[in-house]
Amino acid sequence: MIERIAEFCIRRRSWVVGSLAALTLVLSWFALHIEVRTVFEDMLPSRHEYVKTHEKFKDTFGGSNMVTIMFEVPDGEIFQPAVLEKVRTVTLGLREVSAVNPYQITSLASKKLKEVRASTAGIETRPLMWPELPANADELATLRESVLRNPLVYGPFVSKDLQATLITVDFIDREVDYAKVFSEIRALVAKVDDDSVKIRVVGDPILYGWVNHYVPETINLVAAALGLTLVMLFVLLRTWRGVLLPLLAGVVSAIWALGICRLLGIHFEPLVIVVAMLITSRAVSHSVQIVNRFDDELALVPPGEGVARHAARVALADLFRPGMLGVIADAACMAVVALSPIPMLQKLTVLSVVWVSTLTISAVILTPVLLSYIRRPHGTVHPIDLAPPLRRILDFGVWMATSRFRYAVIGCSTIVVTVSGLYALNLKIGDANPGSPILWPESTYNRDSAAINARFQGVDRMFIVLGEDGKEGLVKSNDVLLAMNRFQRFIEAQPEVGGTVSIADVLPVVNSTLREGNPRYLELGDTQQVNGSLMGILDSVSEPGDIDRFADNQYANGAVTMMFRDRQGETIRTAVARVKEFIAQNPLPEGQWQLAGGLIGVMAAVNEVILSSQIEAVALALLVLVVICTVVYRSTVAGMLFMVPVIISNTLTFSFMAWKGIGMNINTVPVAALGIGLGVDYAFYIADRIKEEIAAGSTPEHAIHQALHSAGMGVIVTASVLIFSTLLWWGSSLRFQAEMGLLMAIWLGVSAMSALFVMPSVIYVFRPAFIFGHREAPVLGRLRPAIQPV
């Protein structure tokens, strides 16, 4: 079967190459038109309870794309005309920024920050600094006092030391284009930015704006990595084919994948470039294996007519099974990620499965077919020969596998897997450190974020909703108000929760104001009657939109908004667990508690989804791998055998993530999932070669030697090349990409090591039947004699 395919491909090579070229040309037109952007809504698991709450209430109680701008004076106070003027300019300017929700701009200079005060006519509310700035020193002093005595402003919007003030602005989620918002806000801030005031801007649109900002740098890194890969391949393989064919395989599969995704309407996330690199590295790896095998065959036959055709056919036939198996196993392991309810991961899965699957054509078939065209295959382009030192490493591998040291290898591997497996349990779900893990701690964004969180109650918000649709006025009820109040007190005990706010914080101010400002009445009323009338008074003095952030128009649903000082997985988990604990102890007689909106709410949902599917992803990917190997080799032992390198590379990589504090979040999950299938390719090539050698009548020792010196050479070349080029990513301005580059390098390194050193020992010690048995039916038995050396 396999040799028939090989024969066919080589015989009809013009036809094969021609149709592939045509297809590539067509798909490249589509590939060039793929959209590169981050779509926020794709990150949300839309069926999750929290996300439903978020979607329902985000327009009223605040979405997850809130941007916070802090104005900070180095000394003195913000109550200076120049500073307030800047705050006002930016506040007004924000209305012009695209996708801004104009009702959700809050600052000293907006109409929304008001003071409740008693007057001769009863009670009134007055904007603090709207529409006009304070005109003179007296008015400035008045403004300062009204800020200081207003707990809803002093603390939340003006820092306790009076050196900083905030503007918060929310966006209409479905319209927000991060790159656009980022540049518009930066331009707006630049207009008022001089050295007198430090202006800091944070929020998800800004964060992803930074990611987009670094796309050109990322592209340079990709180019550099590619260049390094090619140079190293050229030096190590000493032939042009060793450089050009892997490059071609990578490019063709990229074009196909991007083209197909464009046709399927899937866009490309800038952060996913890492995944693209990972898959391209597979393409290079497979292609190098085939070129390497081609070279090995050439060494066995003298130059002559049709040598290239012959060697190409042998390479294709020999590597068809491990190559296909590697690709299919990779693709199938990745496909498991599609079970995740997060659209971004589903789309990414489609992208990567398509991409990996194209390797079957671009690497496994196209490379040998093109090899068959080579006219003078013998000889090298340059005299530098690095093969001898590499062969010494391979000899070391052979020695490890065939000496008594093999038991030590197996023993050590078992210990390493056990220890790293246990250590990997420390892996954190969600972000493991304060600040965004996408950027370096010393990046502008993370420094800004830390500065704002240090001065204020917290940038990131979560809201929970009390109430029920259709129950008008429920929020005014005593039960709900008291529950809110008790809940706020309860949740604020967590140090990472900087503060909370709800309508139950506003009523006490009204109450105290009605009682001539007596603070002994700075509390909710005892009875429904009192609270109802307080609410009535508040209603009568507020304008449309004032109550929005606390309750909906019918007062059927009210929100408690919590401000978080960081968004670490542990912080969010603890907060959600405590919210649930409180709800369990305090059921509402009417209406429901609804979790949870805002950025922290949706992050909680994403983290819960990732956590609950973590075991599922790893277990099912392993299962798929085991089943595929079992079917292909018709042996359950084969399934077990190929789990070994996968388990080694995964436990080690997860331990590395745990050690470096890289959490499992929406950005790292795809890389981790892709890595599961990654560990196994190299092992396929080595084991399959051993099998073939045995089938051809070799002794186990000779088979291992041959396998390591042919397939093993391909492994060592591709692994070293790819490790060095992925390490280039360490220079990225995006911490995420740098860490993922390092992670991939480790992944490749560990899987190469386990394929070269561990697998031969395991095979030699346990001698599985699917490799050593069935001598009566060698896979390539009929092909063998033709190429045996004389």
Partner 1 sequence: MENPALCPLTRNPESDTPMDRLPDNIAGRAHAHAHAHALAATPPAPERPLRHRSLARAPVAVLPWAIIAGLLWAGLFVKPQPVGSTVQPPVLEQRDHFYGIALAAPGEVWVVGSNGKILTLGADGRAERFATPTERTLQDIALWDASHAVAVGNGGVILFTADAGRTWTAAADVPRSEVANKLNRVRVDEGGVAVATGEMGALLMSRDYGRTWTRLREEEDVAWNDVALLGGGRIRVVGEFGRILASDDDGASWQEAEPPVPSSLMAVAFRGTDVGVAVGLEGVVLVTRDGGREWRKVDISTHDHLFDIAWDATGGRWIGTGALGRWVRAEADATNWTTARLDDRDLSWHTRVVPAGEFAWFAGANVGRWDGTRWMPLGN
Site for partner 1 in 146-165 (CB under 8 A): 148-149, 154, 160-162
Q: Which is nearer to partner 1, 606 or 719 (CB)?
A: 606
Residue 299 within binding range of partner 1, rule CB under 8 A: no
Q: Which of 341, 473, 532, 773 is the binder for partner 1 (CB under 8 A)?
A: 773
- Region near partner 1 per CB under 8 A, out of 196-204, 292-300, 554-562, 573-581: 573-581
Residue 660 within binding range of partner 1, rule CB under 8 A: no
Residue 777 within binding range of partner 1, rule CB under 8 A: no
Strands (E), 255-370: none
Q: Which of residues 598-617 bind partner 1 (CB under 8 A)?
A: 607-608, 611-616
Q: Which of 85, 175, 523, 590 is the binder for partner 1 (CB under 8 A)?
A: 523
Of 11, 147, 1, 171, nearest in space to 79 by CA: 147
Q: Which is nearer to partner 1, 20 or 576 (CB)?
A: 576
User: C-beta of 148: minimal distance to partner 1 in Å?
Assistant: 4
Is the separation of the CB atoms in 54 and 45 below 8 Å?
Answer: no
- b (16+ CB within 10 A) / e for 524-559: bbeeeeebbbbbebbeebeeeebbbbbbbeebbbbb
User: C-beta of 761: minimal distance to partner 1 in Å?
Assistant: 11
Distance CA 108, CA 86 (A): 11
Residue 493 within binding range of partner 1, rule CB under 8 A: yes
Q: Which of residues 425-464 bind partner 1 (CB under 8 A)?
A: 429
Is the separation of the CB atoms in 681 and 288 below 8 Å?
Answer: no
Q: Which is nearer to partner 1, 130 or 405 (CB)?
A: 405
Total Cβ atoms within 10 A of residue 35: 12
Q: Which of residues 705-764 bind partner 1 (CB under 8 A)?
A: 705-706, 709
Strands (E), 98-137: 100-106, 114-119, 122-127
CA 536 to chain centre: 48
Q: Which of 470, 519, 587, 785 is the binder for partner 1 (CB under 8 A)?
A: 519
- Region near partner 1 per CB under 8 A, out of 132-140, 350-358, 555-563, 568-576: 568-576
Q: Which of 174, 489, 634, 660 is the binder for partner 1 (CB under 8 A)?
A: 489
Q: Which is nearer to partner 1, 185 or 669 (CB)?
A: 669
User: C-beta of 151: minimal distance to partner 1 in Å?
Assistant: 8
User: C-beta of 574: minimal distance to partner 1 in Å?
Assistant: 4
User: C-beta of 767: minimal distance to partner 1 in Å?
Assistant: 4
User: C-beta of 368: minimal distance to partner 1 in Å?
Assistant: 26
Q: Which is nearer to partner 1, 235 or 530 (CB)?
A: 530
SS3 label, residue 126: strand
Residue 403 within binding range of partner 1, rule CB under 8 A: yes
User: C-beta of 39: minimal distance to partner 1 in Å?
Assistant: 26
Q: Which is nearer to partner 1, 228 or 410 (CB)?
A: 410
Residue 582 within binding range of partner 1, rule CB under 8 A: no
Region of 517 on the Ramachandran plot (φ > 0 left; ψ -120 to 50 alpha; else beta)? left
CA 56 to chain centre: 26
Structure token pair of residue 71: 């104005």
Q: Which is nearer to partner 1, 288 or 429 (CB)?
A: 429
Structure token pair of residue 302: 């003298």
Distance CA 283, CA 678 (A): 12
Distance CA 532, CA 465 (A): 20
Residue found under tokens 């069926």: 47
User: C-beta of 167: minimal distance to partner 1 in Å?
Assistant: 22
Q: Which of 7, 85, 385, 395 is the binder for partner 1 (CB under 8 A)?
A: 395
Distance CA 333, CA 623 (A): 9
Residues 732, 733, 734, 738: is their CA dihedral positive or negative?
Answer: positive
Q: Which is nearer to partner 1, 284 or 711 (CB)?
A: 711
Of 77, 127, 133, 124, nearest in space to 105 by CA: 127
Size of the site for partner 1 (CB under 8 A): 75
Residue 548 within binding range of partner 1, rule CB under 8 A: no
User: C-beta of 328: minimal distance to partner 1 in Å?
Assistant: 18
Residue 341 within binding range of partner 1, rule CB under 8 A: no
Residues 605, 607, 610, 613: is their CA dihedral positive or negative?
Answer: negative
- Region near partner 1 per CB under 8 A, out of 225-233, 320-328, 491-499, 666-674: 491-499
User: C-beta of 240: minimal distance to partner 1 in Å?
Assistant: 29
Residue 637 within binding range of partner 1, rule CB under 8 A: yes
Q: Which is nearer to partner 1, 151 or 473 (CB)?
A: 151
Residue 488 within binding range of partner 1, rule CB under 8 A: yes
Residue 702 within binding range of partner 1, rule CB under 8 A: yes
User: C-beta of 428: minimal distance to partner 1 in Å?
Assistant: 12
- Region near partner 1 per CB under 8 A, out of 6-14, 179-187, 364-372, 569-577: 569-577
Strands (E), 387-510: 460-467, 497-501
H helices present in 424-477, as ranges:
444-455
- Region near partner 1 per CB under 8 A, out of 173-181, 401-409, 532-540, 550-558: 401-409
Is the separation of the CB atoms in 560 and 488 below 8 Å?
Answer: yes
DSSP string, 518-585: -GGG-S--SSHHHHHHHHHHHHHHPPTTSSTTTB-TTSSEEEEEEEES--BHHHHHHHHHHHHHHHHH
What single-letter DSSP state applies at residue 255?
Answer: H
**Whole-angstrom distance between the N-terminal and C-terminal Cα of the chain?**
27
User: C-beta of 280: minimal distance to partner 1 in Å?
Assistant: 29
Residue 425: its H or E element:
none
Distance CA 515, CA 509 (A): 10
Q: Which of residues 74-133 bind partner 1 (CB under 8 A)?
A: none
User: C-beta of 741: minimal distance to partner 1 in Å?
Assistant: 29
Query: How far is residue 317 from each of residues 5, 15, 175, 235, measured CA to CA in Å?
Result: 8, 19, 53, 27
Structure token pair of residue 612: 């609950």
User: C-beta of 635: minimal distance to partner 1 in Å?
Assistant: 9
Q: Which of 137, 263, 619, 631 is the binder for partner 1 (CB under 8 A)?
A: 619
Total Cβ atoms within 10 A of residue 365: 22
Residue 412 within binding range of partner 1, rule CB under 8 A: no
Q: Which of residues 33-52 bind partner 1 (CB under 8 A)?
A: none
User: C-beta of 653: minimal distance to partner 1 in Å?
Assistant: 19
Total Cβ atoms within 10 A of residue 462: 32
